[in-house]
């Protein structure tokens, strides 16, 4: 059984940083995509970033240059380093994963529809 557990959310002032973590268990596929999406109250889900099996990353335009997605395979953990946070980044952030051997499937826009997701961690950025 695949389980994704996020941590690291919190409240920060604009310009600050946070690092989200996603601990994955029960996931043993050789080809996969993992990533993050977010959802603010009253808004649509928004894909944020993805990382493919081989380490290739893709970002939404809204976070490019500020957020960095990475993975530690030894720890089965996915990270999202968020710098230069803005009030509009306030949202619940979800970790997601899916099996795929096709690179173009690993796109942030697809993350809300991935097979597996965590319970989310709240990020609040004040101005």
Total count of residues recorded for the chain: 127
- Cβ–Cβ contacts within 10 Å for residue 20, how many? 23
31 DSSP 8-state letter: S
Query: 46-52 and 121-126: which strand pairing?
Result: unpaired
The tokens describing 93, both together, are 């952030």
Confirm if 116 and 94 have CB atoms less than 8 A apart: no
pLDDT digits (tens, 9 = 90+) for 30-53: 788 999 999 999 999 999 999 999
pLDDT digits (tens, 9 = 90+) for 4-16: 999 999 999 999 9
Tokens of 48: 């944020």
């Amino acid at each position: 059984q695949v389980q994704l557990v996020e941590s690291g959310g919190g409240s920060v002032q604009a310009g600050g940083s946070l690092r989200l973590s996603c601990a994955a268990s029960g996931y043993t596929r050789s080809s996969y995509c993992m990533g993050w999406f977010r959802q603010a109250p009253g808004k649509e889900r928004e894909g944020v970033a993805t990382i493919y099996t081989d380490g290739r990353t893709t970002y939404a335009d809204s976070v490019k240059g500020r957020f960095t997605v990475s993975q530690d395979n030894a720890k089965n953990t996915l990270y999202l380093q968020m710098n230069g946070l803005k009030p509009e980044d306030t949202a619940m952030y979800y970790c997601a994963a899916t099996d795929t051997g096709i690179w173009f499937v690993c796109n942030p826009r697809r993350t809300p529809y991935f097979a597996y997701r965590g319970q989310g961690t709240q990020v609040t950025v004040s101005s």
